[in-house]
A and B are shown apart, each in its own frame.
Chain A
Amino acid sequence: AQTVTQSQPEMSVQEAETVTLSCTYDTSENNYYLFWYKQPPSRQMILVIRQEAYKQQNATENRFSVNFQKAAKSFSLKISDSQLGDTAMYFCAFMTPLGSGNTGKLIFGQGTTLQVKP
């Protein structure tokens, strides 16, 4: 079974500092997609960053970057220069190609609640 594990239920960081959220996944697939979603108190699910497994280069989006280690099945999210607006729950998610019993669904981790302190 394909699973996603976020081992840090809660984290905190001081404003302007850097924080890294961990994510590991388990799959036998070679081609897949990985995502980080942010869920602020408003409950809206917002895509932060996306990574294709066939790309060796780590994805970046402004202050957000990932460390994708395919062999280790690890996909951590680094937030630089943390801002108060980054306070949210963060979900790591995994998607396999359609077919062979896969439905194109997103498989989510349990979430990490990040508190940015002033």
Chain B
Amino acid sequence: EAQVTQNPRYLITVTGKKLTVTCSQNMNHEYMSWYRQDPGLGLRQIYYSMNVEVTDKGDVPEGYKVSRKEKRNFPLILESPSPNQTSLYFCASSLRWYTEAFFGQGTRLTVV
């Protein structure tokens, strides 16, 4: 089944403790991105990747890192999480940047 898989789906952590949210797609998509969803703000892009080893900042990149060592994986790294990073996170992939974006199931992150 074609899908984007995020893990974990729920995570509660403490301020400053490094964490990684994984994202993997099995559709051989070139374009991948991370969004965060906050009430009243919709979804905002954090980082995106056009292809392997090519990543760039989106609208809200502060406090996040990404890597794209393999085409299928695009992990989101929070080196030192803070409470303002409490949010719902989505990974998305598409064959090209302009084609349909497929979203993962979302990761609900709470930083206390």
Residues of A participating in the B interface, judged by any CB pair closer than 8 Å: 4, 33, 42-45, 47, 50, 91, 93, 95, 97-98, 103-106, 108-111
Contacts and interface: CB of A to CB of B under 8 A. Distances in A.
Contacts of B48: 103-105
Interface of B: 31, 33, 35, 40-45, 48, 50, 56, 58-59, 88, 90, 92, 97-98, 100-101, 103, 105-106
A33 B88 CA distance: 25
Contacts of A91: 42-43
Q: Which 7 A-B pairs have the closest CB atoms?
A: A104-B97, A108-B42, A45-B103, A105-B45, A43-B106, A108-B43, A110-B42
A110 B50 CA distance: 26
Given A44-B105, A47-B100, A95-B98, A105 B58 contact: yes
17 contacts: A45-B90, A45-B92, A47-B100, A97-B98, A98-B98, A103-B48, A103-B58, A104-B48, A105-B48, A105-B58, A106-B101, A108-B35, A108-B42, A109-B42, A110-B41, A110-B42, A111-B42
A67 B48 CA distance: 30
Most chain A C-beta atoms within 10 Å of own C-beta, residue among B48, B88, B103: B103
Nearest to B103: A45
A104 B42 CA distance: 17
B25 to A, nearest CB: 14
A105 B46 CA distance: 10
A111 B103 CA distance: 17
Given A97-B98, A98-B97, A105 B103 contact: no
Given A4-B42, A97-B98, A104-B50, 9 more contacts: A42-B105, A45-B92, A45-B106, A47-B101, A95-B98, A103-B58, A104-B97, A106-B43, A106-B101
